[in-house]
Amino acid sequence: MITKRIIACLDCHDGRVVKGVQFVDIIDAGDPATQAARHARDGADEIVLLDITATHEGRATLLDTVRRTARELFVPFCVGGGIRTADDAAQVFEAGADKISVNSAALADPMLIDAIGRSFGAQAVVVAIDARRDPEAADPVHDAQVFVQGGRKPAGRRVVEWAREAEQRGAGEILLTSMNSDGMRTGFDCELTAAVSEAVGIPVIASGGAGTVDHFVDVFGRGKADAALAASIFHFGVSSARSLKEELAKAGVSVRLPC
Amino acid sequence: MRVTVIDYKAGNLTSVLKALRHLGAEPEVTDCDLAMVEAAERIVLPGVGHFAATERLDETGLTPAIRAAIARGVPFLGICVGMQWLYAGSSEAPQQPGLGHFPESCTRFIESPEKVPHVGWNSLEVHNGSRLLAGVEPGEYVYFTHSYKGPVTEDTAATTFYIEPFAAAVERGNVMGVQFHPEKSGATGLKILGNFLGVSR
């Protein structure tokens, strides 16, 4: 039986893992290679490394960090941040990533999704969407807006529509981050995740807001997520993927155990 | 131990090479050197992406070279599209023949409410006597990412269920294939790759 994936996310800045609240107030949380290895050992089903500053500072993805992190990592490894061209993607794959995620650059040039998919396969292209809903909107879920440049700028696209276009262009997965929930530990945006998951036929990874085991149970159930991403819940020894998955199994969620 | 890894420009080899090196093997990569295939002691054909990419194996003359190597008993492992290529073909690229070592063809998952591609960790039901999957316990998980798959037949070494039962691994003599990615399947995947490295000619 297919299992729900628990993905450990390492937000990186200058080669260090960092954690912020709603994309600001960033604090140091360790070395990416060490952290990735620890998460894999502790039962994470996948590792995502996002270079959160790459886009707005115009820096290339940290290829050395990717190479070092990938060296002894034998679970799927996705890298995002600052990938603007198919050549950028090729370098990240060459350094050891199994998937790349594109965000701002894909909105600026949607053909980028097609191009990377053609060269490396759809399974290797994750389209990351930073979503913000306006509680005042008539339909906050369907009117939720895509933001770019690390959440600084509206892209002028609706989240659900963009997810559908990304799929049509050959994305293999959608990584949906709720900016309203990110870092708050108050739970995932299950309504928005379900709306995107129902709109596309490819897996959706929910991100933003993980704080308790119940939040994961909720997003896999009501939120119809195929995978969920967590960062702060694992940092500082709050919990491990293994213990999280043991709790999820008790709640009836199918997960990879033993791991 | 020397392992000849075939590069037919279908995705990324880095992870496969890394896993083989981790297990103490010395992978050598070729994209069109027939002499390397003729001298190969062990062949791995990776591949993610589209079945049509296997056309390159025909264009470069690697297909008959690999067929001859298999006939000599050289252990062969196809991964993902590399496994699918062992069959007669795939509905993903109907005009492109596979090796035909296994007579069936690969097909897309049938229409259902479930998502395609099948992405994630799924369990293996290992069939008796598989050398490739020796020591893999019932219910161990491996990582999949694919939309097409081979049918369950007498050559199937492990079955996985997603939408329908399909061949997660195929094995006849020294010709082996896995639909999942052993290089991305943690300790279970490394055990399977290690088993392949232990298969003797």
The catalytic residue among A31, A51, A88, A130 is A130
Average pLDDT, chain B: 95
Contact A98 B141 (CB under 8 A): no
Kindly list the residues of chain A whose beta carbon comes within 8 Å of any beta carbon in chain B: 1-5, 40, 45, 70-72, 74-77, 93-98, 120-124, 172-173, 201-203, 226-227, 256, 259
Q: Cα–Cα distance between A26 and B127 in angstroms, integer?
A: 51
Residue A259 within any structural domain of the chain: no
Average pLDDT over residues A66-89: 92
Q: Cα–Cα distance between A249 and A241 in angstroms, integer?
A: 12
Residue A258 within any structural domain of the chain: no
Q: Domain tally for chain A?
A: 1
Give B118-131 pLDDT, tens digit per residue: 999 999 999 989 99
Residue A257 within any structural domain of the chain: no
Alpha carbon distances (Å) from A179 to A56, A132, A160, A239: 17, 5, 15, 23
Q: How close A122 comes to chain B (CA, Å)?
A: 7
Residue A43 within any structural domain of the chain: yes
Nearest neighbour of A1 by CB, restricted to B11, B122, B187: B122
Q: How close B138 comes to chain A (CA, Å)?
A: 12
Q: Cα–Cα distance between B26 and B55 in angstroms, integer?
A: 27
Residue A255 within any structural domain of the chain: no
Give B25-60 pLDDT, tens digit per residue: 999 999 989 999 999 999 999 987 789 889 999 999
In this prediction, what percent of chain A has a pLDDT beyond 70?
Answer: 91
Burial A136-145 (b: 16+ CB within 10 A, else e): eeeeebbebb
Structure-token pair, residue A71: 């060296």
Give B90-139 pLDDT, tens digit per residue: 999 999 999 999 999 999 999 999 999 999 999 999 998 999 999 999 88
Contact B185 A72 (CB under 8 A): no
Report the CATH number that the domain containing residue A71 is assigned in CATH. Answer: 3.20.20.70
Confidence (pLDDT) at A58? 41
Q: How confident is the model at residue A123 (pLDDT cuts 50, 70, 90)?
A: confident
Q: B40: closest CA among B79, B11, B7, B1? A: B1
Residue A130: active-site member: yes
Report the CATH number that the domain containing residue B169 is assigned in CATH. Answer: 3.40.50.880
Range of the domain at B178: 2-198
Range of the domain at A238: 5-250
Say yes or no to pLDDT of A22 above 70: no
Contact A76 B184 (CB under 8 A): yes
Q: Domain tally for chain B?
A: 1
